[in-house]
Chain A
Amino acid sequence: MANEHEHCVAQPWEESPPRVLAKLRFHIFLCTDGKDFCGCEANGNAALSGALRQELAKRRLLAQVKINIMQCRQPGITGPVFVVHPDGVWYDGLTAEHVPEFVEQHILGGQPVERFVLRHLKPVTAVPAHLVEAGDCCGDKLTPEQQAEALARGTATGQGAAR
């Protein structure tokens, strides 16, 4: 590829009517880095991520299946959690060894692997903890100093919990 950052640069059609991502069939979001909120990190989401990407690359499906990461913040799941959009199918507990089955059945066949589908989805509208602590409410943005302080605190506790 001539410019590997081509996708980051504004294109001539930028201001034209919205472009349909015609090739994209599945947009998968894997839950990562949620050690304070869910059990995904502890239950092998890194192995799942690697296995899924490798399997899709092996079958040359990466143009039609996009993988990104998110945080699920779902309470009471076993993990790892991921979502297949635009179908809106949530998976829970599908680990690296089930990836070939998942690709065969859902990505190629279009049928969800029913035994791993997460049924009891909870809406997550909890206010972020650092806002509650700061007593900030209703759209007032934190000052840079407050933000940096909250960030520093989050980093410290995160590292303490992880190792």
Chain B
Amino acid sequence: MRHVFVCTTEYGDHWTKTIAKKAAQVAAMSPEDRARLLNAPAEDHADGHRGLHCGLTLGGGIYEMFQQRLQAAGVDDVVVSPNACIAQHAYGCVVMVYPDGIWYRIREMADAQKILEQHLIGGKPVMELIHRRVNPPNGKGVQPPPARPAPAATTGGN
């Protein structure tokens, strides 16, 4: 079963603990202010944050669209989960598809529709939208890192 994650931090009723403050800010903005904030390049922000989390910009709409279209198409082997921030602010909203291990970068709603039709319904990854790849499972666990050299205080004593 395919598992899809859509970044929806601060979207709707999903992340109720942090939403009220941001929602008030966004509701108070003029449409021009909202558009300017959303389209600001990453280098305009000291740490790459675009000022709004995905859930208030694109992520919520993608999540809703996926749910509605998948339900309408009768697809029953996909789980769509809202997930919280994965620290990819500089790239905008990210949609992750597992177990394929593909992270897509979404620039506009049409990208998300393409992913829905080609990948989630059709089963073929959309190569040109791929942002990161995760290696497929190899059936093995992780290798623990080599032990650190012992600190000088303990080795040097006596």
Contacts and interface: CB of A to CB of B under 8 A. Distances in A.
A83 B5 CA distance: 12
A115 interface: no
Contacts of A26: 142
Contact of B70 (A68, A109, A125): A125
A128 B1 contact: no
B99 A125 contact: no
B105 to A, nearest CB: 9
Contact of B98 (A32, A64, A86): A86
Nearest to B130: A18
B56 to A, nearest CB: 8
Interface in A24-72: 24-27, 29, 32-33, 36, 59-61, 63-65, 68-72
A12 B35 CA distance: 26
B68 interface: yes
B47 A154 contact: no
B43 A10 contact: yes
A115 B91 CA distance: 39
Contacts of B87: 7-8
Contact of B141 (A110, A152, A157): A110
A131 interface: yes
Contacts, number: 198
B128 to A, nearest CB: 10
Interface in B52-101: 61, 63-65, 67-72, 75-84, 86-91, 96, 98-101
Contacts of B99: 85-88
Interface range on chain B (Cβ under 8 Å from partner): 35 or more
B84 A8 contact: no
Contact of B90 (A8, A72, A121, A123): A8
A29 B47 contact: no
B42 A9 contact: yes
B137 A151 contact: no
B83 A70 contact: yes
A53 to B, nearest CB: 15
A29 B81 contact: yes
B158 interface: no
B20 A152 contact: yes
A71 B14 contact: yes
Interface string B107-149: 0000000000000000000000011111111011111110000
10 contacts: A8-B48, A18-B130, A21-B133, A86-B134, A124-B79, A131-B64, A139-B65, A147-B12, A154-B13, A157-B13
